Amino acid sequence: MKLLEGGRTGQIWRDGNTVIRPSGAWTPTVHRFLRHLSSRGFPGAPDPIEITGNQEVVSYVGGRVCEDLSDHFVGSERMLLSSARLLRDFHSASQGFIESDREIQTWMLPPQEPREIICHGDYAPYNVATADHEAVGIIDFDTAHPAPRLWDLAYSVYRWAPLSDPANPDVTFGLDDQLRRAEVFCTAYGATAEERLQLPEMICRRLQALIDFMLARAAAGDETFVEDMVAGDAQLYSSDMDYVRRHQDRLLNALC
C-alpha cells in the first residue's frame, strides 16, 4: 500500500485501484450518493466498495491533484474552464438523490435551504483530479450535503479565482486576474444573472458557515480542526470575507 499525501496526513492509503480512508457516521449516505452518481452516468467520482469498521474503501480516481494555482498545469485557463464544467455536470448528476433515497440521510455538514441538490461542499483544486490539463474527477465526498447549487458554486469560485487577498503569501493572482477568473468560471458553469448577483454574499455566507463548523468541531475536541484553528485558518477565512465585501462592487461589475 502507498500512503497518499495531502488531506489527513497518514490516514489515507492507496492499495492498487482502491483507496482506504477513515469513515464517519455520514459515510453510508455518501456511498449511496456515489452509487446515484454512477447510475446517472457521471464518470468523475469514486465508486464505493465497502465500509469496514472505521474505514471506507472506494475506487481510486486517477489524475494529478494539486492546490497550487501558481502551477500553470492547475491554474491555467483550460483547467479553469474544465473544472467549472465538471462541477456543472456533477450538479446535474446529483439531482434526484434527495427524493429517491429511501434511507435516513446523515451528512457531515448541515443541510442548507433550499435543498436543491447534493453539493460537494469542498470543490477546490486539492479535491479535483486532473489529466491532460483538464479536470476529470472529484475526490473526497465527506463534505457532501444538501444545499442550493449556488452554495457550491460560490465556494468553488472562491477557491478557483481565488478570491483571497493577494497579500497572503500563497495567493498567486492579483485582483484583476481574480475577477476575470471568477467571471470565466461562472460563464463556463452556466451561472444565471440572478446567481451572479447573489454570488458575493453567498461566498461570505459559505465562509462564515465554514468558520462556525470549524469552531464547533475544535470545541468538541476534533484534533484536525484544533490544528486548523492553531494554524489560523479561521482568521484567514474571516479576512477573505472582508476582502470579498471590500471589492463586492468590482466583483459584481465583472460578473454581471
Which DSSP string corresponds to 179-218? HHHHHHHHHHHT--HHHHHHHHHHHHHHHHHHHHHHHHHH
Query: pLDDT at position 70, please?
Result: 86
- pLDDT at 7 exceeding the cut of 80: no
Q: What is the mean pLDDT of the chain?
A: 94
- pLDDT at 37 exceeding the cut of 90: yes
Alpha helical stretches, state H, the chain: 27-39, 72-75, 77-94, 97-100, 149-160, 175-189, 193-219, 223-231, 233-246, 248-255
Place of cell 464547533: 216
- How many Å apart are CA 84 and CA 74, to the nearest integer? 13
- How many Å apart are CA 70 and CA 75, to the nearest integer? 6
Residue 200 exposure: Cα atoms within 13 Å on the Cβ side: 17
Query: pLDDT at position 6, please?
Result: 59
Place of cell 500512503: 3
Answering whether pTM is above 0.85, one says yes
Query: pLDDT at position 9, please?
Result: 56
Give the cell for residue 129: 483530479
Q: Using the 8-state DSSP alphabet, how is residue 116 labeled?
A: -
Predicted confidence band of residue 176 (pLDDT cuts 50, 70, 90): very high
Find the mean pLDDT for residues 216-225.
91
Query: pLDDT at position 113, please?
Result: 96
Report the CATH superfamily, name and number, of domain 72-255.
Aminoglycoside phosphotransferase (APH), C-terminal lobe (3.90.1200.10)
- How many Å apart are CA 158 and CA 161, to the nearest integer? 6
Residue 159 exposure: Cα atoms within 13 Å on the Cβ side: 23
- pLDDT at 72 exceeding the cut of 90: no
Place of cell 471568477: 182
Give the cell for residue 197: 448577483
Query: pLDDT at position 27, please?
Result: 98
